[in-house]
Amino acid sequence: MYIKKNNGKKVLVRNIYCVGRNYSKHAKELGNTKPTEPFFFQKSLPSLNTSSQIVLPSNRKIDYEIEIVLLICRDGKSESQKDAKSFIGGYSLGIDLTDRKYQNKLKDLKLPWLLSKSFAGAAVVLPFSDKPIEEDFWLSVNNEKKQTGNHNQMIFSFAQLIHFLSNKVPLMKGDLVFTGTPHGVGSLDVGDEIVIGVGNTTLNKFVVSSEE
């Protein structure tokens, strides 16, 4: 599957990695402790969603989580946090859609989260830009702003995340890294309109529908 850069170039996606609990207030709102080192989970490639449609799977309650997403442009592992920055080939916003009830069940059983994070369309990603996202990013539902965050609020920086992850699992060109969500996550209903943006700029709107 492919994602696009703002220059129109397509990039083949290899893996989708996500860091958990990288904003203190989000960890607190879900009843989790602040992590002392990054921890990651994955989304499946079929979950990649580059459209403006969010389709909710039948009989499942789905939460939204807006995040900055990094595009990896090099293979291998970083030698240092300074070197880790050279692995970033693009920046974007994405929505990590989550079956929270199922995730909590898996957590209680001490099982991996993959199946609660990997239904079709669960990894929403906008086109990537070479320009870092410095202003606050945000998500609104039905004209009500629900989440606002900034990379400066992250527990672990982009460089820390890439250095840690690449030294556990060698990265590949085309990998995506979801870097964590700020507090304010909530559930979606059919007919909701989601808008995401940066600063005063709206980047995309999504209509929420259900499986037929």
- pLDDT value at residue 27: 61
Dihedral through CA 151, CA 154, CA 157, CA 163, nearest 10? Answer: -130
- pLDDT value at residue 80: 95
CA–CA dist 54, 205 (Å, integer): 10
- pLDDT value at residue 30: 67
Is the separation of the CB atoms in 147 and 182 below 8 Å?
A: yes
End-to-end CA distance of the chain: 24
Span 114-156, pLDDT tens digits: 999 999 999 999 999 999 999 999 999 999 999 999 999 999 9
Residues 6+ apart with CB under 8 A from 108: none
Span 21-65, pLDDT tens digits: 899 777 667 676 788 999 999 999 999 999 999 999 988 999 999
- pLDDT value at residue 19: 96
pLDDT confidence bin for 9, thresholds 50/70/90: confident
- pLDDT value at residue 33: 77
pLDDT confidence bin for 68, thresholds 50/70/90: very high
Mean pLDDT of 186-194: 96
Is the separation of the CB atoms in 136 and 148 below 8 Å?
A: yes
CA–CA dist 51, 202 (Å, integer): 16
Mean pLDDT of 166-181: 97
Is the separation of the CB atoms in 14 and 174 below 8 Å?
A: yes
Q: Is 103 helix (H, G, I), strand (E, B) or coil?
A: helix
Continuous H helices in 72-211: 81-84, 100-108, 114-117, 158-166
Residue type at 42?
Q
